[in-house]
Structure 1
Amino acid sequence: MLASNLSKSRRALGPATFCVLALCCATAWADTSRLEVLDDHGKVLVALPMPEGERWCLEWNHSVTGIRVQDCYRHDQGKMMLERSHQPDFAAGLGHVPGRGRQVSDGQGGYWIEDIDEPVPGNRYRLRVGSDRVDHRLLHEGRRTSLSKRAAGERVTIHLRTPDFTP
């Protein structure tokens, strides 16, 4: 009788135990990576979930010509990778460096530098955020988040924080 009850208890606990273990494992394996923009004191100004394979761009208006420029990144195996850059013309400070990606037309008079695929050292870089006229902004999942509205004229750190990255 005792053996029979014990067997029934194990069968009853089986699915429940499996569900609890599955939930714990899914939580432990969940990608908690995020893109953060931090001010000079370490305060988080922007935090966006950024799981493996996700892409985002930093976009701004060139300070001299006003043209829109983009640097686009991806989360690749725990690393922030500069993937490509869009430049509508060869304004001051812009241009393709031979051997660093390949330049292709955007079909509108500008160009993309594709296949840059450079890891960003330490998964972070510093940026002096431009004025509202420059309007540094993050593009992610169809949304624009203005950094200039939060920290114009300030230095910030853009950091891909991943649980498993070791520089």
Structure 2
Amino acid sequence: MGDHRFFRGRCAALWLFFSLNLASASTGFAGQLTISDASNGAALASTEVAQGAGWCILWNHSVQGFEVEDCYENRDGVMVLVRSHLPDFAAGLDHIPGRGRQVSDGMGGYWIEDLDEPVPGNAYILRPGGPAVNHRLRTEAIEISLTQLAERARVRIALQPDIAP
């Protein structure tokens, strides 16, 4: 059963990788957001991210089950953490004074705005949780389940600036 799930996940990853890259091959863009296997560098998915455009990493809180999100932006080829949404002050979730500013979301939770933190090396490692947590990456155009691609494996999320010819 485990081998079947691994094979199915890899087939889905390959389909996603090629379909996203073919769709973006004819357009200009300022960067490529890639998701790869951190252990061997194998590409799992990739999508273009225009200058000034953003994406979010979302997941369901492992205890409370509500959705949490960290949002990034491509600023001149640099991956910048812009804001986070925390629906509650649950375990592991809190605002650190001096790091952005906390504002109400109007529904009992809060946003941490104005984080504006460049991500060192334009990349970081994430270990997607199981189906209940369901880590995913969302842009304006697509949503990719990192859990389906690489459940409990280490993945590298990186922004690679477009190199002009």
Unmatched tracts of structure 1, length 5 or more: 1-29
Q: What is the number of equivalent residue pairs in this alignment? A: 136
Separation in 2, partners of 1:81, 1:132: 27
TM-score (ref. length: structure 1): 0.78
Q: Which residue of 2 aligns with 1:107?
A: 106
The 5-angstrom pairing of residues 60-139 of structure 1 reads: 60-139=59-138
Q: Which residue of 1 aligns with 2:140?
A: 141
Moved over 3 A (4+): none
Q: Which residue of 2 aligns with 1:11?
A: none
Unmatched tracts of structure 2, length 5 or more: 1-27
TM-score (ref. length: structure 2): 0.79
- Deviations, residues 79-127 of structure 1 (Å, cap 9, x unaligned): 0000000000011111100000000000111100000000000000000
Q: Which residue of 2 aligns with 1:35?
A: 33
| Closer/same/farther in 2, CA of residues 79 and 88 from structure 1, 3 Å limit | same
Q: Superposition RMSD on alpha carbons, in Å?
A: 1.5
Separation in 2, partners of 1:105, 1:142: 27
The sequence identity of aligned pairs, in percent, is 53
Separation in 1, partners of 2:114, 2:30: 27
Separation in 2, partners of 1:72, 1:57: 4
Q: Which residue of 2 aligns with 1:49?
A: 48
Separation in 2, partners of 1:103, 1:33: 30
